[in-house]
């Protein structure tokens, strides 16, 4: 084995770890750091969403793809937005047998989510209010939103299972009649 092999591999590993944790910091600033949802909560989230074959699911901050993988057999299509490229690569590999599921390496803040019939998320309390405004502005009435772990401040949930909350986007307020 050449002398430079081991130091070279170690350098790559250290650089990879530094980059991974750098993206964790970026994710924490942009939304939430990577913290995988426990398997039983994933099961509750999927059950609460009431998925059906006409659904287009959007997962906000899809992490290692566990929610997408659990939802894949039940939906027409699914998209995960994830800013950490390492997690994108891993989840694309994990989801390679589901061509109707995509993982996009983009921040969801800049995306229009209006095509979704179901939105799933496991985020952080400090961003739920900002997220609530975005979802209300973009999603059609009746769209299901399933949040694991945290509630939207001031919203009434339709159903709660443990710490998984199902919300329905309310009908748009009626325009005031002309005078």
Ligand X SMILES: C[S@@+](CC[C@H](N)C(=O)[O-])C[C@H]1O[C@@H](n2cnc3c(N)ncnc32)[C@H](O)[C@@H]1O
Strand order in the sheet with 77-81: 101-104, 77-81, 56-60, 118-121, 144-148, 164-168, 159-161
Kindly state whether residue 77 participates in binding ligand X, applying the rule CB under 6 A. Answer: no
Which two structure tokens, joined as six digits, stand for 135?
């979802």
Residue nearer to ligand X on the CB measure, 30 or 56: 30
Residue 120 tokens read as 């799933």
One residue of 58, 70, 77, 84 binding ligand X per CB under 6 A: 84
Among 48, 57, 82, 117, binds ligand X (CB under 6 A): 82
CA atoms of 119 and 147, how far apart (whole Å): 8
Q: Which of 122, 152, 165, 167 binds ligand X (CB under 6 A)?
A: 122
Residue closer to ligand X (CB basis): 9 or 89: 89
Tell me, by CB under 6 A, how many residues bind ligand X.
Answer: 22
Nearest Cα neighbor of 32 from 154, 114, 157, 130 is: 130
Q: Is the distance from CB of 170 to CB of 143 less than 8 angstroms?
A: no
- Minimal distance, residue 70 CB to ligand X, in Å: 10
Residue 21 or 100 having the CB closest to ligand X: 21
Separation in Å, CA 70 to CA 75, 84, 96, 156, 172: 10, 20, 13, 26, 31
For the segment 142-161, give every residue that binds ligand X (CB under 6 A).
none
Question: Binding to ligand X by residue 108, rule CB under 6 A?
Answer: yes
Residues 57-76 binding ligand X (CB under 6 A) are 61-63, 66-67
Return d(Cα 124, Cα 104) in angstroms, integer. Answer: 21
107, 113, 157, 161: residue in contact with ligand X (rule CB under 6 A): 107
For binding to ligand X (CB under 6 A), which residues are involved?
Answer: 27, 30-32, 34-37, 61-63, 66-67, 81-84, 87, 107-109, 122
């Amino acid at each position: 084995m050449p002398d430079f092999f081991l130091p070279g591999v170690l350098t790559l590993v250290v650089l990879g770890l530094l980059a991974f944790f750098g993206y964790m910091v970026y994710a924490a600033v942009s939304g939430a750091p990577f913290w995988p949802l426990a398997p039983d909560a994933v099961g509750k989230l999927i059950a609460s969403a009431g998925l059906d074959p006409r659904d287009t699911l959007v997962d906000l901050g899809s992490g290692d793809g566990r929610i997408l993988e659990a939802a894949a057999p039940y939906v027409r299509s699914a998209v995960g937005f994830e800013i950490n490229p390492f997690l994108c690569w891993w989840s694309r590999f994990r989801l390679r047998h589901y061509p109707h599921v995509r993982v996009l390496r983009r921040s969801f803040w800049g995306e229009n989510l209006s095509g979704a019939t179901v939105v799933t998320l496991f985020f952080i309390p400090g961003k739920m209010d900002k997220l609530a405004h975005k979802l209300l502005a973009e999603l059609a009435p009746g769209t299901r939103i399933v949040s694991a772990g945290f509630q939207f401040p001031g919203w009434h949930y339709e159903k709660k299972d443990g710490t998984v909350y199902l919300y329905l986007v309310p009908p748009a307020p009626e325009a005031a009649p002309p005078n």
